[in-house]
Amino acid sequence: MSDKTLITVLVTVKKKTSQVAVECAEHEVPILKFIHGPDAIEIKERDYGTLEIPDSAEAELARLVAKYDDKQNRNVAAVFSDLDRLAQHVGLNTTYDPLALEQTGPEQSSQIDTTKAKRKQAAKDAQAKKNAPKAPAPAARVAPPAAAPAKVVAPAPTGTRQGSTAAK
């Protein structure tokens, strides 16, 4: 697989109290705008430098996800919803041919690897695992009740109390 050289741009990302200069490929600017808001990103210089990336949409998607995505994996997907869109925008090759389904018979088309289908299946599997009934928790061990303490019965009073000043 050969590499592709992209021209980078210099952008400033305006944060609440500061600005940060970032060098990135031009197709990364929409992702930055999605993350920080369109008013927070300003391109300062075009043709700033170069960036070598593999000539593969799959590899570039993985690089972008590792660089920009959060725990919900929504940042890159919001801008590049599928590999074909990324490949077309950046001019990259894909390892699968979307037209191959039309050019091959049904027995061969099932062998074509599509990352989107794998992601969809992984999402279904995760949802099924989440919705699966959980095994009941093991019964808690309960200690036998402790023996009740013996009641102490005071003797009944007899006669008069000592030291009392009863009338005589």
> What does the alpha-carbon distance between residue 93 and residue 88 come to, in Å, rounded to a whole number?
9
Q: Is the pLDDT of residue 43 over 60?
A: yes
Binning pLDDT at 50, 70 and 90, where does residue 167 land? low
126 in a structural domain = no
Please, what is the end-to-end C-alpha distance for the chain in angstroms? Answer: 123
Q: How many domains does the chain have?
A: 1
Binning pLDDT at 50, 70 and 90, where does residue 145 land? low
Residue (of 84, 92, 83, 97) closest to 52 by Cα position:
92
* Residue 67 domain boundaries: 3-99
Alpha-carbon distances, residue 30 vs 26, 43, 44, 53, 125 (angstroms): 8, 11, 15, 18, 31
109 in a structural domain = no
117 in a structural domain = no
Position with higher pLDDT, 77 vs 124: 77
* pLDDT for 16: 86
Position with higher pLDDT, 26 vs 113: 26
139 in a structural domain = no
Q: Which amino acid is at 102?
A: E
Q: Is the pLDDT of residue 142 over 90?
A: no
SS (H, E, C) 11-53: EEEECCCCEEEEEEEHHHHHHHHHHHCHHHEEEEEEEEEEEEE
Alpha-carbon distances, residue 95 vs 4, 79, 87, 110, 122 (angstroms): 15, 21, 11, 15, 20
Tokens representing 59?
């590899």
